[in-house]
Amino acid sequence: MTNGIWRRIDDDLDGMRRAGQYKRLKNLMRPMGPESEIEGAGNVVVLCSNDYLGLANHPEVVTAAIDAQKRWGAGTGSVRFICGTFDYHREVEEKIADLSASEAATTYVSCWNANEAVIPTLMTIAGDSVIAVSDALNHASIIDAVRLGRQMNKSAQSRIYKHSDMDDLENRLKEAAAIKTKLVITDGVFSMEGDIAKLDRIHALCAEHDALLIVDDSHGVGVCGPTGRGVAEHYGLHGKIDCLTGTLGKALGGAAGGYVASRKNLIDLMVQKSRPQIFSNALPPATAGAARAAIDILTRDSSRIEKLRSNVGYMRSGLKARGFETMEGPSAITPIILGETAKAIAASRRLLELGVFVIGFGYPVVPEGTARLRVQISAAHEKEHLDRALDAFQKL
Ligand SMILES: Cc1ncc(COP(=O)(O)O)c(C=O)c1O
């Protein structure tokens, strides 16, 4: 006899099916690119990847991944501090620090891990007077990291401010005036909205209230700012953010991996104390190799960023001309709000039949009643891909 958990698993899955929230994974039959092939659906234009610069299957990135694997083997077979640090870790971390205009950087197997490294570690070492103040629409990894920080340090507090509401953030900071350590945490680009954080105001408020600013720029790096350094560069704040986290699984090669970039002492603290690095294996060679090559391409050639911007503009005006509401802004994400979850899922199913791969997001990923299609554009799209997609939206 068990305690009934197997039955509860079935009930839970059935509940998701009934609510139209059950996710069916789609099998890609070709590498990620501006178009791909889905098992059972055929050729599709891809509008749902975070491969913003089109580097996931770039020959230089693939070759670098293979070369790294050949040179270093499959991995370290250990965590970093025991015997799991290779030369390539140092190299890729130096490149990430450069890209972020930070003193130093350290890597993790995902940005999820990077957030769960830096936020709880800081909330723990800060002692009995610490608060984390977080945007209401921050990524799930930030939300969970703050929860974890409160578990690890029972006297740590947390507050949520209304999404991008600077008056609310200021009020939260004023309320926290007596608390010694204040952390303000925000996404750079909000992944479901496609809008960018008001980093100029947030940065100024942090300075005024003596708060440390952590920005997760997973969707901003490679996309925002004149040279693709991210949302901080967009605001002229490159090199001025206390702590950046980001992913290597989106614009920077599309494989996997994450990082924290900051002052040397904070990075040293991560190496000494952050649990996702102390108790979990290091970034494997192939992913590090891919990311290193992607960073090299980004730093030597801004043409991809320019093409991405022109593609985003083309798609947004095409959608607008077809009666869809879109918003302006420097990110590569355009949500189309449809309301009910079932409606968003039905729309994405219909678009797939029409040869366009775009995902409908509903509750609980986004708040109830704000289900949406999330259109994501890449520098790898050609006009022909975007026109095919726009034709499908027209039919929809
Ligand atoms: C803002 C943000 N942070 C973190 C992550 C997680 O990144 P990773 O896939 O590297 O764990 C994502 C991915 O969706 C994200 O959008």
Residues in CB range of 65: below 8 A, 6 or more apart: 255, 286, 287, 289, 290, 293
Calculate how far, in angstroms, residue 5's C-alpha sits from the geometric centre of ligand 1.
30
Catalytic residue status for 381: no
Confidence label for 161 from pLDDT (cuts 50, 70 and 90): very high
Give the C-alpha separation, 255 to 198, whole Å. Answer: 29
Catalytic residue status for 203: no
For a mutational test of ligand 1's pocket, the pick from 138, 244, 247, i.e. the residue with the most ligand atoms closer than 8 A to its C-beta, is: 247
Average of per-residue pLDDT values in the chain: 96
Structural domains of the chain sorted by starting position, each given as residue range(s) with its CATH number in brackets: 16-46+302-395 (3.90.1150.10), 59-300 (3.40.640.10)
Calculate how far, in angstroms, residue 159's C-alpha sits from the geometric centre of ligand 1.
21
List, for residues 82-115, the tens digit of each pLDDT value: 999 999 999 999 999 999 999 999 999 999 999 9
List, for residues 51-78, the tens digit of each pLDDT value: 999 999 999 999 999 999 999 999 999 9
Q: What would the mean pLDDT of 17-46 be, rounded to a whole number?
A: 93
Give the C-alpha separation, 217 to 212, whole Å. Answer: 16
Calculate how far, in angstroms, residue 257's C-alpha sits from the geometric centre of ligand 1.
10
Calculate how far, in angstroms, residue 4's C-alpha sits from the geometric centre of ligand 1.
34
List, for residues 170-226, the tens digit of each pLDDT value: 999 999 999 999 999 999 999 999 999 999 999 999 999 999 999 999 999 999 999
What local confidence, expressed as pLDDT, does residue 1 receive? 56
Res. 359: pLDDT tops 60: yes
Closest alpha carbon to 327 in 164, 143, 100, 112: 164
Catalytic residue status for 198: no
For a mutational test of ligand 1's pocket, the pick from 52, 139, 252, i.e. the residue with the most ligand atoms closer than 8 A to its C-beta, is: 139
Q: What would the mean pLDDT of 281-285 be, rounded to a whole number?
A: 96
Q: Which has the minimum average pLDDT: 134-143, 189-198, 296-305, 319-328?
A: 319-328
187 ligand 1 Cβ < 6 A = yes
Instruction: Please say whether the beta carbons of 392 and 356 come within 8 A.
Output: yes
